Structure 1
Amino acid sequence: MATRSTSIIAGKPVNETIQVGEHVLTVSQALNYFTAWLPKPGNYPRVVRPYLLFCLANAYPIDRFSLGLFAAGLSANRVSPLRKFLLFYHTQGTPRLVADPPRASTTIPAANELILGFLHDTTTLRGDESKDTYTKSLNAFFRYLADEQLQGRQASFAGQTVGRYVEWLKNEGLSAFTVNIRLSAIKQLAAWVIKNRHKVGVSAEQVDALRDVAAVRGLTTERKFYKDSLQQAERDELLQAIDDPMDRAIVALLVIEGLRTVEVTRLKVGDIDFERQQLWVKGKGKNTKKDIILFPTCAQALDLYLQEAYYWPISTHAGKALFPALKTHQIRYRVDKYLKQLALKRPRLSAHSLRHTTGQLLIQEGVEPIHVQRHLRHELFETTQFYIKKQTEQDYYVKIVVSNKSDA
């Protein structure tokens, strides 16, 4: 029996044939048949694969004796899938199993060319971290295509396969947020291929298949306020409780200025301008700095820290890191320490919550949302609107009652 894989782009043939003799199955093919045999596969195939590899590595037959050796010490819910496979295997006449053919590479060469071309041309991804996320997402999709083709299933860079991939990711337990990020990367790559179809060399039929990718729907998510924020009294209590000048300056930058933890680690001494009351911030994934207002409370904390660190005058030390060798995980640890000491630590309160505190309190104080967006450097106004929605939820019961009394 022979199975032939198809191209990563629909309609483009690939000369890759897997030869499987009669009564001989690869591990993946056996698990594929096992999956089809089960009414509800669940995670059974994934649990069984290590057992089959164990038998192949040790030249053991697939029987109750090898199962007993492999399953020693495993919990009952891990043994049950193995026993179910053993039943399936014997009902199929105990075909001989062989290892899957080795992969020449973790990614398909054609896929590498598409990904590299896309990343080179795209202007929507800023910073190495964003490009790395998209690269991993796209490589994961093409690995899925290769696995599907290896197991004899029709798979290509087309809408139908992408839809099946989204469902597979969901069944693998990935969050809706992660699934939608991966889908977004695939959609953007498909759009790039369509735009560059003559350079890439795809047919009109293949372009139609790629256009179907745009119609694939992601998983539904209800955007909630994932992070908590401090009330004004709690924010003031936190700052007043910190005696260490460096820690106080760090927390002030987070909770007064609304900086991200990574932005704090990137600050230089020369980014502080006390005379103009400005702070220059290099944002997430960006190579340029943006000026924001330096509030008096934060300015006082920074002034004290600069004196303690012997960074005066600023002009002499302008190029030095404000907090040498500081890492984001160290900031998270310090913030958690103070929150716990003050009994302010809550499940959804973290170092990043201090940035949310800045936005929330600015909205409460009546600052125009467009200016809050400018201060927090949100690229999308929709991000800033979450603070408005949260404030609306908090004000609803109070203001609706007041309004009702005035109408009485």
Structure 2
Amino acid sequence: MLVKEKFKEFTEAYLLDADVKLISKLTYERALRQFVDYVDTLSDLPTRSDVMKYRDGLMSKGLEPTTVAFYVGIIKGFYEWIQYNGYGLNITGGIKSPKIAKTFKRSSLSREQSRRLLIHAHALSEKHIINYRNFVIISLMITTGMRTIEVERANKSDLSELDGGHVLYVMGKGKDSKSAVIRLSPLVFGLIESYIMKRSDPYEALFINHKGKHAHNRMVTRNIRYVIKDLLRDINIDDKRFSAHSLRHTTATLSLDEGADTDEAQMLLRHSDPATTKIYLHRKPKTDNFYEYKISDSLLDFFEKEKND
């Protein structure tokens, strides 16, 4: 039977038994670890009321409703497993997840805001390798539309050459392998290359932590989001509509400004469903491709001029 002293062991057994992809299992493990930490603060096994308090606590921390709903879903799955295997009762039946708006509420940055963000991140980049890393991440995400989870999963060995240019192979959302190709502009590839040279370490992750107890560990999505949110606040953009995902939205908007049509924007963002792409679109000009290069050239021209001076 489920007892508080062995609560963590039961979550570990659930993870071993869970029929999910390895990458999902790692996410489940992270979510359950946080719940175990919460349970450790209780005097006894959690009650239904405790689970609801945990849910509300996640919301009060400012997490997105989608993230909280995901975490609650994992906890519900754990307790369903507990009951199915006869270890105890499912105390989570009927517990509601936060309501998720059906409309897309992330705003894209304007071209001027994008340039301000990059110029500010670049100005800080000379202070410490952490700041340089942050500048590289911002440059990469805003010119390619990469998701934070794709940035987290990226390795140095994923960098390659294709058709005479530099690319990064990524594991897209819901995928099992790194089959998606991100085209890197010469400027952005140069920034990544410089960051790797500045690091001069054997670690495989493309972006790592550089201090504290997690030094040398892979940067995770939560940290990437914090970095971007802090830099946005630095340039006086402190609004819930703007987040790390806004950079992806910005890539879509800027690609349209540079002449992309809906199909080309879909390819750039690697959406399997055209309807998803249309969420991002507000206008539709037309021309051909290599929009990663065009966005990079239009936003990072200040950096190119500085290099040539």
TM bucket, shorter chain: 0.5 to 0.7
Indicate if the aligned counterparts of 1:281 and 1:292 stay in contact, CA closer than 8 A.
yes
Letter of the 2:246 counterpart: S
Aligned length: 251
CA shift digits 1:269-297 (9 cap, x unpaired): 661325454312356999953432315xx
Q: Work out whether 1:347 is the aligned partner of 2:223.
A: no
Distance 1:115 1:285, change over 3 A: farther
> Structure 1 358/227 Cα, relative in aligned 2: closer, same or farther at 3 Å?
same
Q: Does residue 108 of the first structure (1) align with residue 1 of the second (2)?
A: no
Question: 2:35 corresponds to which residue?
Answer: 137
The residue that corresponds to 1:271 in the other structure is 159
Q: How do residues 70-219 of structure 1 correspond to structure 2 at under 5 angstroms?
A: 107-109=4-6, 111-124=7-20, 126=24, 128-137=26-35, 140=38, 146=44, 162=48, 164-169=49-54, 174-175=59-60, 177=65, 180-193=69-82, 197=84, 200-201=85-86, 210=90, 213-219=92-98
Larger-Rg structure: 1
Corresponding residue of 1:357: 250
TM-superposed CA distance for 1:324, in Å, is 7.3
Q: Aligned to 1:272, what secondary structure does the other structure show?
A: strand
1:253, CA displacement in angstroms? 1.0
Find the aligned partners of 1:374 and 1:182 in 2 and give their Cα distance.
26
Residue identity over aligned pairs, in percent, reads 20
Partner SS for 1:228: coil
Q: So what's the TM-score if we normalise by structure 1?
A: 0.44
Quick one: structure 1 residues 236 and 214, their matched pair in 2 at CA, closer, same or farther if it must change by over 3 Å? same
Instruction: Give the deviation of 1:371 after TM superposition.
Output: 3.6
Cα pair 2:229 2:244 within 8 Å, conserved: yes
Question: Which secondary structure state, in structure 2, belongs to the residue aligned with residue 355 of structure 1?
Answer: helix
Amino acid at match of 1:222: A
Distance change >3 Å, CA 182–CA 267, structure 1 → 2 = closer
Structure with greater contact order relative to length (CA < 8 Å, sep ≥ 6): 2
- Say which is worse superposed, 327-336 or 347-356, in terms of deviation: 327-336
Tell me the TM-score normalised to structure 2 length: 0.54
Structure 2: which amino acid aligns with 1:121? D
Match of 1:367 among 262, 271, 280: 262
Shift of 1:331: 9.5
Taking only aligned residues, the RMSD between alpha carbons, in angstroms, comes to: 5.2
**2:141 aligned with 1:254, yes or no?**
yes
Q: Which amino acid aligns with 2:35?
A: S
Amino acid aligned to 1:126: S
Q: Which runs of 5+ in 1 are unaligned?
A: 1-6, 9-104, 149-160, 312-316, 396-408
1:235-283 deviation digits (Å, cap 9, x = unpaired): 4676688587967654331101123457557441661325454312356
Partner amino acid for 1:257?
Answer: T
CA drift at 1:302: 1.6
SS at match of 1:294: strand
Amino acid at match of 2:101: E
| Alpha-carbon distance change, 334 to 174 in structure 1, aligned in 2, over 3 angstroms | closer
Change in CA separation of 1:188 and 1:232 when aligned onto 2, cut-off 3 Å: same
AA in 1 matched with 2:183? L
Go from structure 1 to structure 2 and tell me whether the alpha carbon gap of 1:214 and 1:290 turns closer, same or farther (over 3 Å shift): farther
CA contact (8 A) 1:336 1:350 kept: no
* CA 238–275 in structure 1, closer or farther in 2 if over 3 Å, else same: farther
Work out the CA distance in 2 between the residues paired with 1:219 and 1:127. 23
Distance in 1, matches of 2:37 and 2:280, equals 37
- How far did 1:119 drift? 0.6
Structure 2 CA distance for aligned equivalents of residues 190 and 390 of structure 1: 37
User: 1:97 maps to what in 2?
Assistant: none
1:31-46 equivalent positions in 2, closer than 5 A = none
Q: Which residue of 2 aligns with 1:220?
A: 99
Which residue, 102, 108, 113 being the options, matches 1:229? Answer: 108
Q: Unmatched 5+ residue regions in structure 2?
A: 127-131, 211-217, 285-309
Instruction: Quote the Cα distance in structure 2 between the aligned partners of 1:193 and 1:286.
Output: 29
How far apart in 1 are the matches of 2:95 and 2:225?
Answer: 40
